[in-house]
Amino acid sequence: MQVVRSVVFRKLTDADFFNINKPEGTERGGGGQSYIDFPTSNVTLQNWDAFLRGIIPTQSTQGSSWQLPLRSLGTNMGVQDVKIYQRRANSVSIASQKLRSKENNRVYAWRPDLTGFPQPEDPAVRWHIENLHVYIAKLDNGEYWAGWFQKAIPEPDWAVNRQLNRMFTEDAGYIEFNGEVLFDTLDSEWAFRVIPRAEAPPALGDFVETEEPEEESFKRSEKVYFDEDEEIANDAPAKIKEMMMKVRERNTKAVRKLKKLYDGKCQISGIKYTFKKRNGKYYSEGHHLIALGWNGSDSARNIVIVSPMIHKMLHYANVEGIDLKKIKDNKLTFKINGEEYTITWHPDHAKIVTQFN
């Protein structure tokens, strides 16, 4: 894995989605946009200069134009030359993204036939598209990689710090990292990996429990905050830490397939403790019955699909009686805090789970 240096991102609007997919002649007055715009109010020209540093631009009356050698997550299509140019004073655009056009040069990662990138059922009709984000990441080795995701919030197993969280909360933007984010080019769903740092803020959705006597906190607070302000005022140099880390690869493909098999419903509680997302599908999470930290398998045999409430209970409550050898009729009864619950496996999933028992 390589360190990520920076990333530009954009949340597509309904108009973006319609115009880059519609056939010629759909609307009177022309073929519509063939580009994806990045407003300079979100990604400034200085941001683009920094992001594309090392690529010599050409100049036109509108501004700079770059030919970007781009790789794409989820494909083996190799390097693609993509044009990025200043289309007007208030926008920089990725050119030739209209799928049904002679000039089509859609980024490989954003092509439905290659990566499953969303497409309208009828491209001549306007569709409402939710939470579809595209991005390009620049790695420390100089490579540029394109990817996409369609989520309002990160999945529980996605590594996200405060900077990466901007990709979910802002319509467009530019982020520079300080060596704390890695990039896995083999994971097309979410390629970012955050290096653990003691001073890093909690990721979105994380709950940090602290137990400190109130009076001790009171004694510390004034001194700690004063010292921090004093350091900033004196322009104290940032501390540099060198660290080595091991990153555990996660079997996200198995989780995705199982979620589809169970239609997002919990194997233990059905739909009781979950909810429907904006796209109408149930929200669920993958849980390892034997934790990976305890040498549990990262395969479908060791994974169950559960609601977020049940997932937290399995991690933090008193769980007894999970023994896969005791599965009967694709069911297993066990206890959480002394109360009985039952895991139910789909027959196709059960075959995998029980074949070694």
- Check: CB of residue 153 under 8 Å from CB of residue 169: no
Residue of 29 and 332 predicted with greater confidence:
332
Q: What is the pLDDT of residue 356?
A: 60
Are 272 and 129 in a shared domain?
no
CATH code assigned at 151: 2.40.330
Are 55 and 149 in a shared domain?
yes
Between CA 351 and CA 293 the distance in angstroms is: 25
Between CA 44 and CA 272 the distance in angstroms is: 46
Are 264 and 129 in a shared domain?
no
The mean pLDDT of the chain is: 83
Q: What is the pLDDT of residue 204?
A: 37
Are 23 and 144 in a shared domain?
yes
Residue of 159 and 47 predicted with greater confidence:
47
In a domain, 90, yes or no: yes
Between CA 290 and CA 353 the distance in angstroms is: 13
Q: What is the pLDDT of residue 207?
A: 36
In a domain, 214, yes or no: no
- Residue type for position 245: M
Quote the crossing angle between the two packed helices 252-261 and 347-354, to the nearest 10°: 140
In a domain, 96, yes or no: yes
Q: What is the pLDDT of residue 355?
A: 77
Q: What is the pLDDT of residue 209?
A: 37
Pairs from 193-198 (Cβ < 8 Å, separation ≥ 24): 193/1, 193/159, 193/247, 194/159, 194/160, 194/161, 194/164, 195/243, 195/245, 196/245, 197/241
- Number of domains the chain contains: 2
Between CA 34 and CA 66 the distance in angstroms is: 17
Summarised one tens digit per residue, pLDDT across range 23-34 is 876 666 555 678
User: At 321, which helix (H) or strand (E)?
Assistant: none
Q: How far out from the chain centre does Cα 80 lie? A: 23
pLDDT at 86 over 80: yes
Q: What is the pLDDT of residue 229?
A: 42
Summarised one tens digit per residue, pLDDT across range 178-222 is 888 999 999 999 999 998 654 443 433 333 333 344 444 444 444
Are 113 and 37 in a shared domain?
yes
Are 81 and 147 in a shared domain?
yes
In a domain, 209, yes or no: no
Summarised one tens digit per residue, pLDDT across range 154-167 is 988 898 999 999 99
Per the structure, the complete domain to which residue 147 belongs is given by 2-194
Q: What is the pLDDT of residue 72?
A: 97
